Amino acid sequence: MRFVIIGGDAAGMSAASRAKRNKPELQVIVLEQGQDVSYSACNIPYNIADPERKIEDLVVRSAEAFREKQQIDLRTGHRVERIDRTTKTVHGHTVDGTSFSVRYDQLLIATGARSIRPRIEGMDLPGVFVVKNLEHGRSIKDFLASRKARRAVILGMGYIALEMAEALSARGLKIDMIKPRKGLLPWLDPALSQQVRDHLEQHGVSLYDGQAIERIIAKDDHLQVVSDPLQLDCDIVVAAIGVKPNAELARDAGLPLSVGGSISVDHHLRTLDPDIFAAGDCADSYHLVTEEKTWTPLALRANRAGWAVADAVCGNPVILPGIAGTAVFKVFAMQVARTGLSAKEAQKAGFDSVSVQIKSKSRAEIYPGAQPIHVCMIGDRATGRLLGAQMVGTDQVAHRINAVAVALLAKMSVAEFCQSDLAYAPPFGPTWDPLLVAANQLVKKMPPTPR
């Protein structure tokens, strides 16, 4: 049997490796249009921050290792252009222009996502970049090495934009950030979002939200981002306004798309065509809380979905329960964590959403280094169910969110979560963890349920 995979990054290579481990006799062919496989895209901003490190350090496993150690038929420089579902064949061209066709028994589309390029004049100027793959990272590092850049403008204020703000700030640049819509991290509770805003401003970052970006122009020896009457002078522009799924191959083959244009898959990662799977940033998923389709292009999901496809192809199908929407990032010292639904998302999904905001500490009050932690926790007044949580703070925030992520997987009520036996020692938190403080407040707004 032949298992063909389009795309050689997280989902694709996870699927290929696991399929070979599951069933060594399986023929596994990976068609990757570029030369880089299995690299850590999430680390690109941190790599850019450090001029001493090479972008190639981000390659987790070389194409040769996959070929020689795992017997995966990995074909780099192979761009697939069409899927013929009738003949079960994919067609395309290699990087040197030769056409190729490969027949499949089972196919995985793992084509990932790409940066959205703002449709404005000046995006093609030297010094203007997007940041998604290794090649982008390399270009930005080469550019910074080639001149003394002093100011950067970042288009967008999502987590990649914020990570790039930290990275370029570490390189000594003054940072301006701009986005058309009002609001920094609009999925965060406003009180928590304000904490992040204050932190950025304390680190010298200027935030211009609610400012339409009109164009980028070249001025003598520098660039200017124009957003009348605002004119932001800089040496480098990085656009990080979001990503979109690479779903054209699937669409052109008649496979249905879903949220955000991602490829629609079932709990087994199957598309409408039983012989074609999709996984990773190009595919959708179910949300644990809403049980509706969602699109969450994140690394853990991509790896897990790749494994699930391999298991299905090898005859041991697993059902992925869906994603909780857990995400963390840091910008300077500020850690931001979320899982489940925000109050707004919960309302939109039809829950009788109610939330609390509390402020607690990262360590016991009197333990040196204790920092504020702000928590927002969301529940459903109708059923008492826990729907989500968000946290910000500069000390020991990120991992705390996992307690809620597991509670969402278990579909716990707020009252049940209140009884969690969470860890306590003075260096790591108050006796009642900030999450329990929030849950103890939230449960008062829940219906009295028999426990």
Known catalytic residues are 42
Could you tell me the smallest distance in angstroms from the CB atom of residue 9 to its own copies?
12
Determine which residue in the list 116, 226, 230, 409 makes contact with its own copies, applying CB under 8 A: 409
Determine which residue in the list 120, 123, 259, 398 makes contact with its own copies, applying CB under 8 A: 398
Q: Considering the rule CB under 8 A, would residue 52 count as an interface residue with its own copies?
A: no
Determine which residue in the list 74, 149, 313, 323 makes contact with its own copies, applying CB under 8 A: 323
Q: Which stretch binds its own copies (CB under 8 A): 81-89, 236-244, 320-328, 346-354?
A: 320-328
Determine which residue in the list 329, 346, 355, 442 makes contact with its own copies, applying CB under 8 A: 329
Determine which residue in the list 2, 22, 46, 133 makes contact with its own copies, applying CB under 8 A: 46
Could you tell me the smallest distance in angstroms from the CB atom of residue 221 to its own copies?
33
Q: Considering the rule CB under 8 A, would residue 333 count as an interface residue with its own copies?
A: no
Nearer to its own copies, 104 or 329 (CB): 329
Are 11 and 306 in contact by the 8 Å Cβ rule? The answer is yes
Task: Return d(Cα 4, Cα 100) in angstroms, integer.
Answer: 14
**Residues between 244 and 283 with contacts to its own copies, criterion CB under 8 A:** none
Could you tell me the smallest distance in angstroms from the CB atom of residue 297 to its own copies?
13
Which residues pair with residue 218 across a beta bridge? 223
Q: Which stretch binds its own copies (CB under 8 A): 56-64, 89-97, 141-149, 214-222?
A: 56-64
Could you tell me the smallest distance in angstroms from the CB atom of residue 389 to its own copies?
12
Tracing tokens 């192809």 back to the chain, one arrives at: 313
Structure tokens at 3: 């298992």
Residue 19 identity (one-letter amino acid):
A
Q: Considering the rule CB under 8 A, would residue 133 count as an interface residue with its own copies?
A: no
Could you tell me the smallest distance in angstroms from the CB atom of residue 396 to its own copies?
6
Are 440 and 432 in contact by the 8 Å Cβ rule? The answer is yes
Determine which residue in the list 133, 194, 420, 441 makes contact with its own copies, applying CB under 8 A: 420
Q: Considering the rule CB under 8 A, would residue 51 count as an interface residue with its own copies?
A: no
Determine which residue in the list 33, 303, 355, 390 makes contact with its own copies, applying CB under 8 A: 303
Could you tell me the smallest distance in angstroms from the CB atom of residue 301 to its own copies?
8
Q: Considering the rule CB under 8 A, would residue 212 count as an interface residue with its own copies?
A: no
Could you tell me the smallest distance in angstroms from the CB atom of residue 133 to its own copies?
16
Q: Considering the rule CB under 8 A, would residue 200 count as an interface residue with its own copies?
A: no
Task: Return d(Cα 15, Cα 74) in angstroms, integer.
Answer: 12
Determine which residue in the list 95, 125, 212, 319 makes contact with its own copies, applying CB under 8 A: 319
Nearer to its own copies, 211 or 362 (CB): 362
Determine which residue in the list 32, 284, 345, 433 makes contact with its own copies, applying CB under 8 A: 433
Q: Considering the rule CB under 8 A, would residue 416 count as an interface residue with its own copies?
A: yes
Task: Return d(Cα 397, Cα 434) in angstroms, integer.
Answer: 10
Nearer to its own copies, 87 or 431 (CB): 431
Please count the residues of this chain forming the interface with its own copies, following the rule CB under 8 A.
70
Q: Give residues in contact with its own copies (CB under 8 A).
A: 10, 40, 42-43, 46-47, 50, 57-58, 60, 288, 298-301, 303-304, 318-321, 323-330, 335, 337, 339, 364-368, 396, 398-410, 412, 416-417, 419-429, 431-433, 436, 451
